[in-house]
């Protein structure tokens, strides 16, 4: 590979983080610049220019983007139309007949495509794949023209049972392409040839809805980079934690829905793995939410389907992230039954917590941390404010929490943290204990600015082995971009009995997917350390509706076969089923629902020890004196340290506060923090040493 | 059967608990119940549990059976009814030597703590250091429990014996000793013995897991603290419920509505409520409701209480789900009422009756505090089965519940195509149904003009049209309601469209003589059935709806131009713009401006 630098760029709501790996010297640098709106590419380039003197010397730029996520959440996709089977234009709006909340029967649903832009044409395929009614291509052409006249910039074509036979949909795709003035045409079988019409419709529709937005963003980005003399590759992080080429991203932008968070989890897995912790729970604490994700044995967990919002379903493999509404900005309040509650209402980042002094007067989790002395009011992180209003925060806690509960203000502040910690602990339990994992073999890895304030308490509440705070918790996602593998997922619905399906045909199809995936890897023009093909079937016993994902080993090399046969698949299913449910059910027929093939191109990793503190680090240089911190009902004198200046091997006993530009780590009195050889902080129980 | 009594004094007076520990324990305890739900959903064989989540778990008072903690993911109607199940077990045990550690009771008796025969309950006492701390219970809707009709929705039943097997509380485990004979009896009475066995084991796993998690929590906090938390949580739910009731003005507020018929006798059945508010207490008096009927729309008293709990939880959403909700409420339900039946009156179609009770609770709350409550949702479960035999003789049965609109509410329009207020079930994809059964859907669409007009209109109902593909044809069975009495509006909102059902015959399209209930409709290959489901009722005066919003409804085809003029007083021209003078005239003519 030519070029010195590999650069990871993560564009967040407030900051654009840039991680620059210099391959020639083996050193790394970090830049944080303000994000720009509405055009994120401005901040993107500013961040790169801030860290690299010569743009032409960049080999690869890898990007975790929230352009797609934000367009979905804020409903700012392009005007889009649907062309669908006669009788079914409302599938998108009817969802799966659900509702947003169990209690109350409130809430509405507004589909991203209004009903008048959902047009029907005569066509029908049956469940067995036979064509009941051939597609009326003249009607398709007329529908496309009508949508164009209505101002649509993108279109999704979704026909009933297209998963079973795509002939009608394919013919319609060609008819639309003949008149559509741009590339923003999505056919459902191309993006998700899987049974379940609502999930396929929603995924295809959201893809079309994002195409113009994401494509024009990527165009601007590439043009600007080229203008600076950049001649390398741009790669985009997908929600599954792998990267894809810009070309693929333009065709399947829906795969970027969780791009940024996925990069963070990838980085966390790598950092923790290098430090000797293959089992982690990542904890990302933002202003309004707390996101957790589980990595077991170094493997991230993928979820086949995610709801971005009520009724906004994307069925594509995505890193499984569990979110609860408890962030730094979550508001603490006492309900009419006299119970202390945290959230779901949040002050967000604007006006933000009371201590920001921007107009909010209801106390938040951050306010409690400030009042307790755990956040340094004179040195706020992020650099937006010069100091925090401690007295204001105190007054708010007094009024809204202390008085109604009959507590003094310090006890009330601590109560807020305790209840918030307990909700976060609940989220961690949900992904660990509830899935059968033993918390003693896991560590928490906080990233983002606020997580490391709480992980000490989480260790104790959940029974985790410890917490590993990465050297740069604020730029974890940017680092993840640099190391993520390239990954392409394929799926097809089989829906037959194991004893009845044509296994040789399935084997050929799997091999064809492998070839398509390897082709995409070839065309990406990226150097790989190695390649891999993964094969999985979604299977169950006949009569069950929930399937288990069954990995099946494949034969290496080329050829029209992956070497799978019925007995291998049966054995793999039974092993997996036993693992999940503790038993197999003899004598029952086994069903194969979906075939999934994944092509992985392994990208080179770098040695994380380049991030470790340099020779200048010493305990004396790191010492910032003492501060009073309130814990367990009493004030304690806590050591305050400049975290970046702590040398490898230092053991900092709690109570202590470790400060750095974009994060604060709080070490409780019964815990200690150790700086490992990569510069990570391992927070653990004192008796562990 | 008695109403849930105020909680007995605990055997040991627990130490007062600090509010912060209480908030923490509330989350931990609810997580235990949620995890029990999740365990059963994942391992169940039967799609009614696995997909539709027709199941529920919780923790119950050791003395009274009252609900202490309930999961958030279980079926809403079970949230209220499990307490009665535990009470039935306590009563049975008292008569037969007492409850013991290691016992697990199983039953489905709808007249003694059940709902309908399909719902099987498992109840296990939880002991710690030899002391009974609470009960754990699991309920799930089994696929088939015998009776005349596969799937057990039999609109022609006149006795529970035609609906399925009836099992009183019996011990599945006796002091830890498994009794396989019980399972043999259950399995030999079902068309789906394998599915039954899978679901039963899933429920046992859920109970085991609940016990394990409770062990760990007590290890961490100590028994006294947990016990104190359970009592205090209930006290707070009661306090919150009383605060909510006290906000309604004192007085008696009456509402009534009708079921089409009972499927046997074609006469409407009145469901009436007189709700009295006196300070922070509420009385729900159902005395004016119809007496017990022949067909399967009767319910037991416990079911009536349970569905009032669901209705009130929909109105006062922030009250935690435990028995404290019911403490300030008194029920008056005469013994001869269709809302208080005993064996062997059929109860299989209980869904229709409890949905109607929820509707009239909303209407009564609306009278007490206009604008506070939602308008009626679509108000029927719309259970449709299509069945027949394939060429090779195998039997096929497609069974599903079909959706409709939710009511308009103070915050906005009702949700289109929602699920029933008593459940959180989703509908199977039509592609899954077509892949499994010889049918073809010819429409799956929103139903224009089905929403009740209002300042916030109801959500739209749906049109589902299905063709039989099998050469030998098939048969249809429908169990529904709202065919003759539409979902109502509140606060000046109007009613929604009624439910309508059509089927092809050799001499053209027909509808059931009893409107919403019918068995054995014969269909040839290529013939269709069609459900046009109700929308939700409207909230507020439709003449107060912004004309621009009405225009949008017309442009999107939710409301026809004719109905826009008649219901909303908005005249939309051929060019799809508002005819301002005509609109003004229409709205003035009604004398409302």
Q: Using the beta-carbon criterion (under 8 Å), do A105 and B409 form an inter-chain contact?
A: yes
Is the Cβ of B288 closer than 8 Å to some Cβ of chain A? no
Q: What is the average per-residue pLDDT within A397-410?
A: 95
Q: How confident is the model at residue A688 (pLDDT cuts 50, 70, 90)?
A: low
Would the pLDDT of A547 be above 90?
Answer: no
Q: How far apart are CA A335 and CA B533, in angstroms?
A: 39
Q: How far apart are CA A78 and CA A154, in angstroms?
A: 7
Q: How confident is the model at residue B19 (pLDDT cuts 50, 70, 90)?
A: confident
Q: How far apart are CA B534 and CA B481, in angstroms?
A: 10
Tell me: cis bond preceding A38? Omega within 30 of 0 counts.
yes
Please indicate whether residue A630 or residue A525 has the higher confidence score (pLDDT): A630
Tell me: cis bond preceding B279? Omega within 30 of 0 counts.
no
Structure confidence by residue, pLDDT tens digits, A353-370: 999 898 899 999 999 999
User: So what's the pLDDT on residue B10?
Assistant: 40
CB environment B417-447: b (16+ within 10 A), e (fewer): bbbbbbbbbbbbbbbbbbbebbbbbbbbbbb
User: So what's the pLDDT on residue B590?
Assistant: 66
Best mutation target among A82, A85, A103, A198 (most B Cβ atoms within 10 Å) is A103
User: So what's the pLDDT on residue B9?
Assistant: 37
**3-class SS shares of chain B: helix, strand, coil, % to 5:** 30, 25, 45
Half-sphere exposure of B38 (CA within 13 A, CB side): 15
Q: How far is A8 from chain B (nearest CA, A)?
A: 39
Which chain B residues are within 8 Å of A95, Cβ to Cβ? 417
Which chain A residues are within 8 Å of B415, Cβ to Cβ? 99-100, 105, 107-109
Q: Among partner residues B26, B45, B434, which is closest to A543 by beta-carbon distance?
A: B45
Would the pLDDT of B155 be above 70?
Answer: yes
Q: Using the beta-carbon criterion (under 8 Å), do B320 and A341 form an inter-chain contact?
A: no
Would the pLDDT of B7 be above 50?
Answer: no
Alpha helix (H) residue ranges in A228-290: 246-251, 259-274
CB environment B90-99: b (16+ within 10 A), e (fewer): bbbbeeeeeb
To which residue do tokens 């004309």 refer? B547
Is the Cβ of B446 closer than 8 Å to some Cβ of chain A? yes
Question: By C-alpha distance, which of B547, B556, B561, B449 is closest to B494?
Answer: B449
Structure confidence by residue, pLDDT tens digits, A181-192: 999 999 999 999
Q: What is the CATH number of domain A5-72+215-259?
A: 3.30.420.40
Q: Using the beta-carbon criterion (under 8 Å), do A588 and B194 form an inter-chain contact?
A: yes
Is the Cβ of B194 closer than 8 Å to some Cβ of chain A? yes
At residue B352's C-alpha, the angle toward residues B349 and B358, to 5°, is 140
Structure confidence by residue, pLDDT tens digits, B125-153: 999 999 999 999 999 999 889 888 777 77
Q: Among partner residues A94, A339, A434, which is closest to B23 by beta-carbon distance?
A: A339
Q: Among partner residues B418, B435, B444, which is closest to A91 by beta-carbon distance?
A: B444
Q: Among partner residues B41, B434, B442, which is closest to A161 by beta-carbon distance?
A: B434
Q: How confident is the model at residue A527 (pLDDT cuts 50, 70, 90)?
A: confident
Q: How confident is the model at residue B15 (pLDDT cuts 50, 70, 90)?
A: low
Across A112-126, B175-189, B320-334, least confident range: B320-334
* Mean pLDDT (chain B, rounded): 91
Q: How far is B89 from chain A (nearest CA, A)?
A: 29
Q: Among partner residues B237, B462, B465, which is closest to A337 by beta-carbon distance?
A: B237
Residues 138-177, chain B, touching A (beta carbon < 8 A): none
Q: How far apart are CA B404 and CA B378, in angstroms?
A: 5
Would the pLDDT of B95 be above 80?
Answer: yes
Question: By C-alpha distance, which of A298, A290, A289, A304 is closest to A268?
Answer: A298
Measured between CA atoms, the residue of chain A closest to residue B421 is A105
Please indicate whether residue B47 or residue B37 has the higher confidence score (pLDDT): B37
User: So what's the pLDDT on residue A491?
Assistant: 87
User: So what's the pLDDT on residue B450?
Assistant: 98
* Mean pLDDT (chain A, rounded): 90
Please indicate whether residue A180 or residue B6 has the higher confidence score (pLDDT): A180
Q: How confident is the model at residue A98 (pLDDT cuts 50, 70, 90)?
A: very high
Q: What is the average per-residue pLDDT within B531-552?
A: 97
Measured between CA atoms, the residue of chain B closest to residue A199 is B429
Identify the sign of the CA torsion A70, A74, A79, A83: positive
Residues 6+ apart with CB under 8 A from B402: B382, B384, B427, B462, B464, B531, B533
User: So what's the pLDDT on residue B593?
Assistant: 43
Would the pLDDT of A175 be above 70?
Answer: yes
User: So what's the pLDDT on residue A102?
Assistant: 87
Question: By C-alpha distance, which of B50, B443, B440, B444 is closest to A164?
Answer: B440
Measured between CA atoms, the residue of chain B closest to residue A101 is B424
User: So what's the pLDDT on residue B6?
Assistant: 38
To which residue do tokens 């900005």 refer? A329
Measured from the Cβ of residue B573, the count of other Cβ atoms closer than 10 Å reads 11
Q: What is the average per-residue pLDDT within A394-415?
A: 95
Give the three-class secondary structure for A572.
helix
Q: What is the average per-residue pLDDT within A608-626?
A: 86
Would the pLDDT of A661 be above 90?
Answer: no
Please indicate whether residue A116 or residue A586 has the higher confidence score (pLDDT): A116
Q: What is the average per-residue pLDDT within B104-117?
A: 91
Question: By C-alpha distance, which of A150, A66, A75 is closest to A111?
Answer: A75
Is the Cβ of B416 closer than 8 Å to some Cβ of chain A? yes
Which chain B residues are within 8 Å of A428, Cβ to Cβ? none
Domain boundaries, chain A: 5-72+215-259, 332-416, 485-602, 615-688
Q: Among partner residues B198, B427, B446, which is closest to A96 by beta-carbon distance?
A: B427
Q: What is the average per-residue pLDDT within A402-417?
A: 94
Burial degree of B180 (CB within 10 A; 0-12, 13-18, 19+): exposed
Q: How confident is the model at residue A538 (pLDDT cuts 50, 70, 90)?
A: very high
Q: What is the average per-residue pLDDT within B340-352?
A: 92
DSSP-derived pairing of the beta strands A185-187 and A154-158: parallel
Q: How far apart are CA B335 and CA B1, in angstroms?
A: 11
User: So what's the pLDDT on residue A1?
Assistant: 42
Give Cα B507 to chain centroid, integer Å.
38
Is the Cβ of B97 closer than 8 Å to some Cβ of chain A? no
Measured from the Cβ of residue A433, the count of other Cβ atoms closer than 10 Å reads 18
Give Cα A2 to chain centroid, integer Å.
31
DSSP-derived pairing of the beta strands A154-158 and A80-85: parallel
Alpha helix (H) residue ranges in A97-196: 137-149, 167-179, 188-191
Measured between CA atoms, the residue of chain A closest to residue B416 is A94
Structure confidence by residue, pLDDT tens digits, A70-97: 888 888 999 999 999 999 999 999 999 9
Q: How confident is the model at residue B2 (pLDDT cuts 50, 70, 90)?
A: very low
Q: How far apart are CA B532 and CA B534, in angstroms?
A: 7
Q: Among partner residues B24, B42, B446, which is closest to A418 by beta-carbon distance?
A: B24
Give the three-class secondary structure for A205.
helix
Q: Using the beta-carbon criterion (under 8 Å), do A127 and B435 form an inter-chain contact?
A: yes
Q: Using the beta-carbon criterion (under 8 Å), do A340 and B23 form an inter-chain contact?
A: yes
Contact A12, A473 (CB under 8 A): no
Q: How far is A143 from chain B (nearest CA, A)?
A: 17
Q: How confident is the model at residue B591 (pLDDT cuts 50, 70, 90)?
A: low
Could you tell me if the ipTM is greater than 0.85?
A: yes
Measured between CA atoms, the residue of chain B closest to residue A405 is B19
Q: How far is B45 from chain A (nearest CA, A)?
A: 5
Q: Using the beta-carbon criterion (under 8 Å), do B415 and A405 form an inter-chain contact?
A: no
Measured between CA atoms, the residue of chain A closest to residue B553 is A115
Contact A552, A538 (CB under 8 A): no
Whole-number percent of chain B with pLDDT over 70: 97
Q: How far apart are CA B139 and CA B121, in angstroms?
A: 4
Structure confidence by residue, pLDDT tens digits, A297-335: 988 888 888 998 899 999 998 999 888 888 888 999 998
Burial degree of A148 (CB within 10 A; 0-12, 13-18, 19+): middle
Residues 6+ apart with CB under 8 A from A298: A269, A273, A278
Most confident listed range (A205-219, A255-269, A274-288): A205-219
Tell me: cis bond preceding B344? Omega within 30 of 0 counts.
yes
Structure confidence by residue, pLDDT tens digits, B231-275: 888 888 899 999 999 999 999 999 999 999 999 999 999 999 999
User: So what's the pLDDT on residue A545?
Assistant: 67
Q: At A456, list the tokens.
A: 């000490």
Q: How far is A115 from chain B (nearest CA, A)?
A: 5
Q: What is the average per-residue pLDDT within A18-39?
A: 83
Question: By C-alpha distance, which of A239, A220, A240, A238 is closest to A228?
Answer: A220
Q: How far apart are CA A194 and CA B431, in angstroms?
A: 10
Q: How far is B218 from chain A (nearest CA, A)?
A: 14
Question: By C-alpha distance, which of A570, A559, A586 is closest to A537?
Answer: A570
Chain A / chain B CB contacts < 8 angstroms: 182
How is the beta sheet containing B131-141 ordered, strand by strand? B67-70, B55-60, B131-141, B119-128, B104-107, B170-174, B177-178
Which chain A residues are within 8 Å of B239, Cβ to Cβ? 336-338
Structure confidence by residue, pLDDT tens digits, A593-604: 999 999 999 988
Measured from the Cβ of residue B292, the count of other Cβ atoms closer than 10 Å reads 18
Residues 6+ apart with CB under 8 A from B391: B470, B471, B472
At residue B75's C-alpha, the angle toward residues B401 and B114, to 5°, is 95
Q: Using the beta-carbon criterion (under 8 Å), do A337 and B320 form an inter-chain contact?
A: yes
Phi, psi of A6 (to 5 degrees): -115, 125
Would the pLDDT of A26 be above 90?
Answer: no
Residues 6+ apart with CB under 8 A from B234: B7, B66, B68, B322, B323, B324, B327
Residues 325-354, chain B, touching A (beta carbon < 8 A): none
User: So what's the pLDDT on residue B372?
Assistant: 93
């Amino acid at each position: 590979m030519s070029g010195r630098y590999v650069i990871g760029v993560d564009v967040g709501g407030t900051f654009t983080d840039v991680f620059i790996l210099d391959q020639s010297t083996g050193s790394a640098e970090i830049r944080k610049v303000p994000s720009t709106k509405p055009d994120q590419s401005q901040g993107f380039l500013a961040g790169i220019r801030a860290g690299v003197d010569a743009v032409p010397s960049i080999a690869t730029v890898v990007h975790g983007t929230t352009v797609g996520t934000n367009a979905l959440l804020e409903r700012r996709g392009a005007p889009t139309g649907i062309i669908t089977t006669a009788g079914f234009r409302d599938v998108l709006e009817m969802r799966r007949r659900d509702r947003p909340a169990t209690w109350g029967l409130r809430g509405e649903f507004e589909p991203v495509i209004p009903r008048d832009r959902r047009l029907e044409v005569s066509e029908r395929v049956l469940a067995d794949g036979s064509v009941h009614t051939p597609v009326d291509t003249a009607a398709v052409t007329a529908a496309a023209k009508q949508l164009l006249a209505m101002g649509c910039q993108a279109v999704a074509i979704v026909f009933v049972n297209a998963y079973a036979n795509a002939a009608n949909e394919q013919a319609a795709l060609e008819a639309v392409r003949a008149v559509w003035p741009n590339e923003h045409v999505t056919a459902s079988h191309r993006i998700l040839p899987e049974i379940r019409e609502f999930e396929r419709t929603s995924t295809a529709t959201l893809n079309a809805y994002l195409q113009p937005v994401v494509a024009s963003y990527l165009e601007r980005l590439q043009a600007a980079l080229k203008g600076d003399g950049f001649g390398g590759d741009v790669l985009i992080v997908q929600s599954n934690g792998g990267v894809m080429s810009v070309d693929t991203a333009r065709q399947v932008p829906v795969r970027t829905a969780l791009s940024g968070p996925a990069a963070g989890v990838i980085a966390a897995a790598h950092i923790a793995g290098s430090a000797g912790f293959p089992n982690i729970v990542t904890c990302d604490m933002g202003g309004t939410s707390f996101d957790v994700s589980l990595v077991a044995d170094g493997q991230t967990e993928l979820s086949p389907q995610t709801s971005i919002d009520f009724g906004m379903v994307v069925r594509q493999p995505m890193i499984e992230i569990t979110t609860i509404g408890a962030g730094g900005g979550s508001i603490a309040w006492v309900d009419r039954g006299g119970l202390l509650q945290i959230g779901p209402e949040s002050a967000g980042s604007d006006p933000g917590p009371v201590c920001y002094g921007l107009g909010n007067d209801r106390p938040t989790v951050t306010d409690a941390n400030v009042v307790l002395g755990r956040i340094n009011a004179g040195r706020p992180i992020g650099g937006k404010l010069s100091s925090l209003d401690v007295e204001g925060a105190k007054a708010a806690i007094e009024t809204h929490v202390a008085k109604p509960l009959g507590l003094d203000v310090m006890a009330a502040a601590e109560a807020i943290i305790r209840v918030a910690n307990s909700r976060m602990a609940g989220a961690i339990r949900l992904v660990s204990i509830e899935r059968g994992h033993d918390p003693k073999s896991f560590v928490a890895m906080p990233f983002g600015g606020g997580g490391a304030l709480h992980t000490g308490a989480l260790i104790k509440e959940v029974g985790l082995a410890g917490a590993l705070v990465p050297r740069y918790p604020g730029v974890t996602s940017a680092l993840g971009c640099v190391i993520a593998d390239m990954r392409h997922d394929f799926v097809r619905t089989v829906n037959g009995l194991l004893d009845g399906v044509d296994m040789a045909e399935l084997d050929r199809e799997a091999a064809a997917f492998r070839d398509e995936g390897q082709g995409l890897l070839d065309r990406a023009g990226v150097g790989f350390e190695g390649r891999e093909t993964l094969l999985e079937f979604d299977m169950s016993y006949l009569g069950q509706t929930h399937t288990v994902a069954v990995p099946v080993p494949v034969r290496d090399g080329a050829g029209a076969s992956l070497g799978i046969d019925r007995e291998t698949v049966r054995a793999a299913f039974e092993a997996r089923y036993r693992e999940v449910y503790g038993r197999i059910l003899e004598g029952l027929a086994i069903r194969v629902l979906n075939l999934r093939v994944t092509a992985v191109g392994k990208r080179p990793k770098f040695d994380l020890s380049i991030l470790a503190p340099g020779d200048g680090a010493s305990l004396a240089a790191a010492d910032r004196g003492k501060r009073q911190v309130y814990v367990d009902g009493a004030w304690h004198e806590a050591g305050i340290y400049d975290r970046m200046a702590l040398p490898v091997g230092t053991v900092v006993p709690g109570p202590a506060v470790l400060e750095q530009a974009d994060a604060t780590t709080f070490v409780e009195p019964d815990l200690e923090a150790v700086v490992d050889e990569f510069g990570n902080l391992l927070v653990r129980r004192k008796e562990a040493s | 059967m008695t109403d849930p009594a105020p909680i007995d004094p605990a055997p040991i007076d627990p130490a007062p608990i600090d509010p912060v520990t209480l908030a923490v324990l509330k989350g931990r305890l609810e997580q235990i119940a949620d995890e029990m739900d999740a365990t059963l959903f994942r391992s169940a064989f039967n799609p009614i549990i696995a997909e539709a989540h027709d199941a529920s778990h919780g923790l119950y008072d050791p003395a009274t059976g009252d609900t202490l903690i309930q999961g958030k993911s279980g079926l809403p109607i079970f949230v209220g009814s499990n307490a009665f199940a535990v009470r039935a077990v306590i009563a049975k045990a008292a008569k037969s030597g007492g409850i013991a550690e290691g016992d697990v009771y199983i039953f489905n008796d709808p007249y003694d703590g059940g709902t309908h025969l399909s719902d099987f309950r498992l109840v296990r006492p939880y002991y710690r250091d030899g002391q009974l701390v609470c009960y754990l219970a699991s309920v799930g809707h089994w696929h088939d429990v015998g009776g005349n009709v596969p799937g057990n929705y039999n609109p022609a039943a006149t006795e529970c014996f035609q609906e399925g097997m009836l099992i009183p509380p019996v011990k599945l485990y006796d002091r830890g000793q498994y009794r396989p004979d019980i399972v043999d009896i259950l399995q030999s009475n079902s068309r789906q013995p394998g599915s039954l066995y899978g679901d039963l084991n899933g429920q046992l796993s859920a109970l085991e897991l609940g016990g394990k998690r409770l062990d760990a929590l007590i290890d961490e906090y100590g028994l006294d603290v947990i016990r104190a938390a359970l009592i205090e949580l209930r006290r707070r739910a009661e306090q919150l419920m009383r605060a909510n009731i006290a906000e309604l003005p004192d007085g008696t507020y009456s509402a009534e509505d009708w079921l089409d018929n009972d499927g046997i006798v074609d006469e409407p059945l009145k469901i009436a409520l007189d709700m009295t508010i006196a300070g922070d207490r509420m009385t729900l008096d159902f005395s004016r409701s119809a007496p017990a009927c022949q067909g399967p729309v009767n319910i037991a008293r416990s079911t009536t209480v349970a569905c009032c709990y669901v209705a009130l939880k929909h109105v006062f959403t922030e009250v935690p789900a435990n028995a404290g909700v019911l403490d300030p409420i008194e029920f008056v339900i005469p013994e001869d009422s269709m809302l208080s039946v005993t064996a062997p009156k059929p109860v299989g179609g209980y869904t229709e009756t409890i949905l109607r009770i929820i509707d009239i609770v909303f209407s009564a709350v609306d009278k007490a505090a206009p604008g506070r409550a939602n308008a009626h949702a679509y108000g029927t479960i719309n259970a449709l089965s299509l069945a027949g035999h394939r060429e090779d003789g195998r039997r096929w049965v497609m069974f599903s519940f079909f959706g409709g609109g939710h009511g308009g509410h103070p915050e906005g329009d009702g949700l289109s195509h929602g699920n029933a207020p008593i459940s959180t079930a989703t509908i199977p994809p039509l592609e899954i149904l077509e892949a499994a059964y010889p049918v073809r859907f010819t429409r799956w669409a929103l139903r224009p003009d089905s929403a009740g007009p209002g300042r916030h209109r109801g959500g739209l109902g749906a049109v589902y049209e299905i063709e039989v593909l099998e050469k030998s044809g098939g048969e249809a069975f429908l169990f529904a309601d709202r065919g003759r009495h539409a979902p109502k509006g509140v606060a000046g909102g109007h009613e929604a469209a009624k439910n309508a059902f059509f089927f092809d015959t050799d001499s053209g399209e027909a509808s059931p003589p009893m409107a919403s209930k019918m068995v054995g409709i014969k269909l040839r290959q290529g013939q269709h059935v069609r459900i046009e489901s109700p929308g939700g009722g409207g909230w507020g005066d439709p003449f107060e709806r912004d004309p621009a919003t009405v225009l949008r409804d017309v442009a999107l085809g939710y409301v026809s131009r004719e109905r826009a003029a008649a219901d909303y007083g908005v005249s939309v021209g051929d060019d799809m713009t508002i005819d301002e003078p005509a609109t003004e005239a229409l709205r003035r003519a009604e004398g409302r401006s």
